[in-house]
């Protein structure tokens, strides 16, 4: 009876570990990511986050949206794999060790107030691709980059929303991304 108890405990622990691993993977905790922290004042908010990448020469556009989603309790993890195709193009053009730009745009609506901000930062395409292709580097660089934004820019809507809401593109009036009728 004692040995069967140990077997059941071992099985239960294995199930718990597998469940935690599946949860961690689905939340992006086991994938190298750009971690975006979003607060209004000191309070984490469930803001709408967009990530744009600068394209290499030869494209008709200078920026392209590579990822969008909603922060959970003020944090979102953007897998760096969303940049792999563009990073490969930069490396092919000879810019693998140069700082290449990404732009993070964040919008949050609470009542009649729209909070928004943006940040421009850079990554090295060669390093990003090495991180993606090497499992040891991937594990060492799970938090590939951290971007923290305190949303201080505001716009007042004519009509208040009944509950906090994250906008969907295009952005609310007053934001540089477009117009949005509420």
pLDDT in tens, 128-161: 898 888 766 666 566 678 999 999 988 887 777 6
Please write the tens of the pLDDT for every residue from 44-83: 999 999 999 999 988 888 999 999 999 989 999 999 889 9
pLDDT of residue 99: 92
DSSP 122: E
pLDDT in tens, 100-114: 999 999 999 888 888
The structural domains of the chain, with segments of one domain joined by +, span: 33-157
Angstrom distances, CA of residue 122 to CA of 30, 100, 119, 127: 22, 5, 10, 12
27 has pLDDT over 80: no
Phi, psi of 150 (to 5 degrees): -105, 110
């Amino acid at each position: 009876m004692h040995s069967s108890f140990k077997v059941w405990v071992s099985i239960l622990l294995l199930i718990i570990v597998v469940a935690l691993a599946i949860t961690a993977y689905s939340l992006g905790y086991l994938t190298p990511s750009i971690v975006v922290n979003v607060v209004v004042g000191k309070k984490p908010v469930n803001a709408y986050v967009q990530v744009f990448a600068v394209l290499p020469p030869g494209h008709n556009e200078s920026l392209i949206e590579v990822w969008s989603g909603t922060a959970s309790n003020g944090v979102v993890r953007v897998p760096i794999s969303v940049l792999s195709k563009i990073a490969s193009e930069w490396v092919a053009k000879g810019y693998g060790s140069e700082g290449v730009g990404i732009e993070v745009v964040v919008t949050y609506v609470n009542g009649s107030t729209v909070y928004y901000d943006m940040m421009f930062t850079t990554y090295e395409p060669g390093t990003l691709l090495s991180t993606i292709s090497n499992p040891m580097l991937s594990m060492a660089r799970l938090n590939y980059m951290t971007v923290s934004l305190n949303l201080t820019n505001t716009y007042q809507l004519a009509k208040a929303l009944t509950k906090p809401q994250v906008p969907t593109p295009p952005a609310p009036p007053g934001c540089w991304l477009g117009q949005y009728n509420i």
